[in-house]
């Protein structure tokens, strides 16, 4: 399971590294990398090592905005 988690986290980094925006940015409340992938990464929404990346990519799933 940890291997899958590492692969998914790497996938998030590759897909959204250049697209991370501030959590309070105005825009649609969506998961930029898809709800299914974000559901697998929800445990890292508040992980200090991944928080900025995950919250920027999974705004809806992490509760950063209201749909």
Question: For the segment 21-48, what is each residue's pLDDT rounded down to a tens digit?
Answer: 454 455 789 999 999 999 999 999 999 9
Output the pLDDT for position 3. 59
Q: Specify if 63 maps to a domain.
A: yes
DSSP state of 11: H
Residues spanned by the domain of 4: 1-13+28-67
**Mean pLDDT across the chain:** 79
Q: Specify if 21 maps to a domain.
A: no
| Burial of 19: CB neighbours in 10 Å, binned 0-12, 13-18, 19+ | exposed
Q: Specify if 33 maps to a domain.
A: yes
Take residue 55 and report the two structure tokens written for it: 């919250």
Average pLDDT for 40-63 = 95
Model pTM score: 0.62
């Amino acid at each position: 399971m940890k291997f899958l988690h590492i692969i998914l986290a790497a996938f998030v980094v590759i897909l959204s590294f250049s697209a991370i925006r501030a959590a309070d940015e105005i825009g649609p409340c969506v998961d930029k990398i898809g709800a299914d992938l974000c559901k697998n990464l929800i445990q890292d929404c508040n992980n200090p090592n991944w928080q900025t990346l995950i919250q920027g990519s999974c705004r809806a799933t992490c509760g950063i905005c209201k749909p």
